[in-house]
Amino acid sequence: MDVIENAKDRMKKTLSVLEKDLATLRAGRANAQVLDRIMVDYYGANVPINQVGNISSPEPSMLVIAPYDATQIGAIEKAILKSELGINPANDGKLIRLVFPTLTEERRKELCKTVRKKGEESKVAVRSIRRDAVETVKKQRKDSEITEDDQKILEEDIQDLTDEMVKEIDKITSEKEKEIMAV
């Protein structure tokens, strides 16, 4: 039975990775999570941007970063410029403002393709986990640890779990696509 629990844990991790990846895609409105992957060179160490400053959203299309250490404003600005965010930071010496332009129809469609691609990658990962679990069950049967009936039941359970996770991935990706396409 621990074969199924192991597979379930690994599949849930795949889902959480997908959710984190999708959270970093910007969908029109400013969301502090788009900055999660940006690392700042902070006195020789790479640290996440949310650890070098306070991030707030004073209006739907803007994020403001207030650095804890004002001398690091240049390093934060440089990290944002190097990232694939595609936004130019506005630096007034004390704060960094990021204004998110409204997305064009073309950009929205591009983002939806990215969402679908990430969803497909997650499904491939889930199916790989299924394959590993089925191989483990077959090995247990070969080593006479379980009966043939147990093998069939376990394989069906693994397939049901896989189907459930694939449905969840589809649900997560379709929600993100709706969010992106909403004007």
pLDDT at 29: 67
Confidence of residue 161 (pLDDT cuts 50, 70, 90): very high
- Please check the confidence at residue 9 and state whether its pLDDT lies above 90: yes
pTM for the whole structure? 0.70
Reported as a single tens digit per residue, the pLDDT across 35-59 is 777 888 888 888 888 888 888 888 8
Reported as a single tens digit per residue, the pLDDT across 70-79 is 888 888 888 8
d(CA 20, CA 134): 28
Under 8 Å between Cβ of 28 and 102: yes
- If one compares 158 and 100, the residue with the highest pLDDT of the two is 158
Reported as a single tens digit per residue, the pLDDT across 91-147 is 888 888 888 777 778 888 888 898 999 999 999 999 999 999 999 999 998 888 888
pLDDT at 27: 64
Domains of the chain from N-terminus onward: 2-23+104-181 (1.10.132.20), 32-99 (3.30.1360.40)
Under 8 Å between Cβ of 40 and 75: yes
Average pLDDT, the chain: 86
pLDDT at 128: 95
